[in-house]
Amino acid sequence: MVDYDGSTALVVVEVQNDFADPKGSLYVAEGERVVPLVNREIGRALVAGTLVVCTQDWHPARTPHFQSGGGVWPEHCVQHSWGAQLHPDLRIAGEVVRKGQGGEDGCSGFTVRDPVTGRRAAGGAAAAPRHPPGRGGGAGDRLLREGDCAGRGAAGVRHGRSGRAGAGGRPAAG
């Protein structure tokens, strides 16, 4: 159980239809089961005065991130599509940080990686971090290792107390 307070943040990672619904293009096995768990954590965090931030994959239809553009990922979370929408049962609280909007690698709500040069830069929530993020998620293990809550830190963001409400299954895209 995570102890939330006003000095921590809960980052809810990509609880979107393409990952958390069996009809999604990159469905994580049993991903829909994470939604009530994440909602419970969001409620606990809000009661404690914790900042809650959701990340949302938000890719253009054509991007070097996708296999069709030379990348490694199948098409997923295309802007304005059903798959890109946050799961309808997810409790939205706080800011939603959209990532991957311009075709860059969207594996993190704190940094972006140019798909051609590989360079990383601050982006999304890192532009003005207010609290150290705690771990949270839904899209899968890969995002927690390489994305928002990776232990190596990103863009000067320090990681606070952590707990994870994530789904297992195959790696999810960023």
Lowest mean pLDDT among 32-36, 66-70, 79-83, 136-140: 136-140
Mean pLDDT of the chain: 73
Sheet holding 133-134, edge to edge: 95-99, 51-57, 9-13, 133-134
Extents of the domains making up the chain: 9-146
- Please check the confidence at residue 27 and state whether its pLDDT lies above 50: yes
**pLDDT-based confidence at 123, cuts 50/70/90?**
low
- Please check the confidence at residue 84 and state whether its pLDDT lies above 60: yes
Report, as an integer, the average pLDDT of 136-165. 33
Burial 37-59 (b: 16+ CB within 10 A, else e): ebbebbebbbeeebbbbbbbbbb
Q: What span, in angstroms and rounded, lies between the C-alpha atoms of 107 and 37?
A: 22
Q: What span, in angstroms and rounded, lies between the C-alpha atoms of 78 and 21?
A: 15
Q: Which two tokens stand for residue 120?
A: 């990383």
Global pTM? 0.69
What three-state secondary structure class fits 100? coil
Give the residue among 7, 4, 29, 9 at the shortest CA–CA distance from 19. 29
For domain 9-146, which CATH number applies: 3.80.30.20, 3.40.50.850, 3.40.50.1820, 1.10.287.3510?
3.40.50.850
Identity of the residue numbered 143? L
Q: What are phi and psi of 31, to 5 degrees?
A: -55, -30
